[in-house]
């Protein structure tokens, strides 16, 4: 249940339109925000959410429309102008300088000075006041690189409060947080609401919308679908508004047809992060790894893929022990890893989508020392069509794609390697419900082809809805195996993950 909001209109955006190189990103979109309200903005990847927020934040100028703050029209021509108007945007990728302290990041560009020198004591005291207002203790002298993701997010919120922001935009704020950290974040949001601050909340996690939201606005293909009270909305209604069609089920049905063992790991160890981990996965199986952040799931998969080296342990592929000294060896064993951090580890953002697709497949495209672009282009075009990747052209930079389309490019490059063992680390993080469903169908198709699939997910409904078997990790070890997934509960997984 959400708190009662006032009817005072803090922000109104009327008839906002924006196009890029002939592509209509926004068309006559209207949106408003009240004081002390959490207004959730949702839609599929590419629906126009980011463009609307960038117009509000001064990163883009609208082609048409007007913006009013407290009923007065304003022109937001730059991020600095947006900030001066009391608008603060916390992007999914934080704008913090890791080498600087918390205090230095909060007051960067707005330093408190005395007689021409930075007044460090005053900044430190003000930072402490900001964290007290948020209700969390963070040492202002610590470097941001030493903070957890949740603490870094708190620093971003403190930065917003430091400029007296009346509107705070949170873009996928829970994407990298544990359930406990999300609960704490929601506590902070409720406190901000009580202070009369309006919050625009962007998320692909539907459960969060019903827990924290007051109203909801849905965009699709750059147009407004509907704005309504969260309490008058069902999960099924949201999905249908987002994708433009009803989805009978959030997770597609699939018949499990287990085959032979494809991968076996025996007593894998690396320091305290991975402790004597043993498991196997069979052809046609989707094996899910659950656990809290830091439980050792990603660390285990990096050892299997050769991104890190184990202290001890054995890896068997199709019953034969293999030595994986690096990712090239893993690819040679037909193992692929779709990393949790697709932007920093899965893609080279400043390269084109086709160049990213080709990277793990160059051996097939090179003939007599020359790169054969014809085959590369033809294969990529086939995957673009098959995976419904939305791109303007093969030379489009990866960094310009939506999160869902970036994930599809990563999928395409690994599918082209014809791997037998697929490791999906948070495959649907930051992806809308329609794109999620497409990825789920693809995972089932791979299983039907005899591929072995390992899936790491922090979304328990996804773990229960997609897997044939579940392993729960805690502090580097496997604590529980769940084979009767159909009758398992989220509470069963959480209990094992926390003990």
The string of pLDDT tens digits covering residues 384-411 is 988 888 888 899 999 888 777 888 898 8
Supply the pLDDT for residue 471.
Answer: 97
Residue 406, helix vs strand vs coil: helix
Give strand ranges (E) for 261-334: 261-270, 274-282, 286-290, 312-317, 320-322
Q: Do residues 238 and 267 share a domain?
A: no
**By percentage, how much of the chain surpasses pLDDT 70?**
96
Mean pLDDT (whole number) for 98-106: 91
Q: With contact defined as beta carbons under 8 Å apart, do 331 and 350 qualify?
A: no
Domain span at 106: 9-243
Per-residue pLDDT tens over the stretch 45-93: 678 898 999 999 999 999 999 999 999 999 999 999 998 999 998 887 7
> Is residue 253 included in any domain, yes or no?
no
Q: Which of 243, 278, 308 is the last residue of a domain?
A: 243
Strand partners, 489: none
pLDDT for 100 beyond 80: yes
Give strand ranges (E) for 122-213: 167-171, 198-202
Per-residue pLDDT tens over the stretch 277-325: 999 999 999 999 998 777 899 999 999 999 999 999 999 999 999 999 9
Per-residue pLDDT tens over the stretch 454-485: 999 988 889 999 999 999 999 999 999 999 99
Supply the pLDDT for residue 1.
Answer: 38
Q: Which of 210, 243, 276 is the last residue of a domain?
A: 243
> Is residue 251 included in any domain, yes or no?
no
Supply the pLDDT for residue 248.
Answer: 63
Q: Do residues 287 and 168 share a domain?
A: no
pLDDT for 38 beyond 80: yes
pLDDT for 171 beyond 60: yes
> Is residue 255 included in any domain, yes or no?
no
> Is residue 170 included in any domain, yes or no?
yes
Task: Kindly write down the DSSP assignment for every residue of 97-116, as one continuous string.
Answer: -TTSBHHHHHTTTS--EETT
Supply the pLDDT for residue 335.
Answer: 95
Per-residue pLDDT tens over the stretch 135-168: 778 899 999 988 877 788 888 888 888 888 899 9
Structure tokens at 178: 């544990």
> Is residue 216 included in any domain, yes or no?
yes
Task: Write down the pTM of the prediction.
Answer: 0.65
> Is residue 209 included in any domain, yes or no?
yes
The count of structural domains within the chain is 2
C-alpha–C-alpha distance, residues 248 and 234, integer Å: 14
Q: Do residues 34 and 178 share a domain?
A: yes
**By percentage, how much of the chain surpasses pLDDT 90?**
48
Q: Do residues 236 and 335 share a domain?
A: no
Q: Do residues 94 and 184 share a domain?
A: yes
Per-residue pLDDT tens over the stretch 352-379: 999 999 888 777 777 766 666 788 889 8
Structure tokens at 311: 């202290």
pLDDT for 380 beyond 70: yes
Q: Do residues 178 and 314 share a domain?
A: no
Q: Do residues 153 and 80 share a domain?
A: yes
Q: At 333, is the pLDDT very low, low, confident or very high (cuts 50, 70, 90)?
A: very high
> Is residue 252 included in any domain, yes or no?
no
Q: Which of 191, 211, 243 is the last residue of a domain?
A: 243
Supply the pLDDT for residue 247.
Answer: 62
Q: Do residues 457 and 379 share a domain?
A: yes
CATH code (residue 471): 3.40.50.300
Q: Do residues 277 and 374 share a domain?
A: yes
Q: Do residues 316 and 192 share a domain?
A: no
Q: With contact defined as beta carbons under 8 Å apart, do 127 and 158 qualify?
A: yes
Q: Do residues 332 and 453 share a domain?
A: yes
Q: Do residues 20 and 126 share a domain?
A: yes
C-alpha–C-alpha distance, residues 40 and 50, integer Å: 13
Q: At 31, is the pLDDT very low, low, confident or very high (cuts 50, 70, 90)?
A: very high
> Is residue 457 included in any domain, yes or no?
yes
> How big is the chain by its Cα radius of gyration, in Å?
24
Mean pLDDT (whole number) for 2-14: 70
Task: Kindly write down the DSSP assignment for every residue of 276-297, as one continuous string.
Answer: EEEEEEETT-EEEEE--TTSSH
Supply the pLDDT for residue 253.
Answer: 87
C-alpha–C-alpha distance, residues 293 and 417, integer Å: 30
């Amino acid at each position: 249940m959400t708190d009662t909001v006032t009817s005072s209109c803090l922000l109104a955006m009327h008839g906002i339109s924006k196009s890029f190189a002939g592509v209509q990103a926004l068309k006559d979109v209207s949106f408003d925000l009240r004081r002390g309200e959490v207004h959730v903005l949702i839609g599929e990847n590419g629906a126009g959410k980011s463009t609307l927020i960038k117009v509000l934040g001064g990163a883009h100028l609208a082609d048409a429309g007007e913006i009013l703050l407290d009923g007065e029209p304003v022109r937001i021509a730059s991020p600095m102008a947006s900030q001066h108007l009391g608008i603060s945007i916390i992007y999914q990728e934080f704008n913090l300088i890791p080498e600087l302290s918390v205090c230095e990041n909060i007051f960067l560009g707005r330093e408190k000075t005395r007689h021409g020198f930075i007044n460090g004591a005053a900044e430190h005291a003000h930072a402490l006041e900001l964290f007290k207002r948020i209700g969390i203790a963070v040492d202002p002298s610590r470097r941001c690189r030493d903070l957890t993701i949740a603490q870094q997010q708190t620093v971003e919120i403190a930065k917003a409060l430091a400029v007296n922001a009346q509107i705070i935009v949170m873009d996928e704020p829970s994407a990298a947080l544990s359930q406990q950290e999300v609960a704490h974040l929601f506590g902070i949001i409720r406190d901000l609401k009580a202070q009369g601050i309006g919050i625009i909340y962007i998320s692909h996690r539907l459960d969060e919308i019903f827990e924290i939201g007051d109203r909801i606005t849905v965009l699709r293909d750059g147009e407004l679908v509907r704005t309504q009270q969260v309490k008058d909305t069902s999960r099924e209604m949201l999905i249908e508004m987002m994708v433009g069609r009803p989805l009978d089920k959030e997770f597609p049905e699939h018949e499990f047809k287990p085959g032979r063992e494809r991968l076996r790991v025996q007593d894998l160890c690396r320091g305290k992060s991975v402790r004597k981990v043993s498991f196997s996965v069979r052809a046609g199986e989707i094996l899910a790894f659950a656990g809290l952040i830091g439980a050792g799931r990603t660390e285990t998969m990096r050892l299997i893929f050769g991104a890190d080296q184990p202290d001890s342990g054995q890896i068997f592929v199709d019953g034969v022990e293999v030595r994986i000294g690096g990712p090239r060896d893993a690819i040679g064993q037909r193992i692929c890893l779709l990393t949790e951090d697709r932007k920093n580890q899965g893609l080279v953002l400043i390269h084109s989508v086709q160049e990213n697709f080709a990277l793990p497949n160059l051996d097939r495209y090179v003939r007599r020392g020359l790169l054969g672009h014809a085959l590369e282009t033809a294969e990529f075009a086939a995957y673009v069509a098959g995976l419904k990747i939305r791109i303007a052209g093969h030379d489009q930079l990866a960094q310009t794609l939506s999160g869902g389309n970036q994930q599809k490019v990563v999928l395409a490059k690994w599918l082209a390697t014809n791997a037998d063992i697929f490791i999906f680390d948070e495959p649907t993080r930051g992806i809308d419900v329609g794109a999620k469903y497409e990825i789920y169908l693809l995972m089932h198709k791979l299983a039907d082809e005899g591929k072995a699939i390992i899936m790491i997910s922090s979304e328990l409904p996804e773990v229960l809805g997609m897997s044939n078997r579940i392993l729960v990790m805690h502090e580097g070890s496997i604590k529980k195996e769940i084979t009767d997934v159909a009758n398992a509960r989220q509470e069963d997984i959480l209990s094992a993950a926390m003990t």
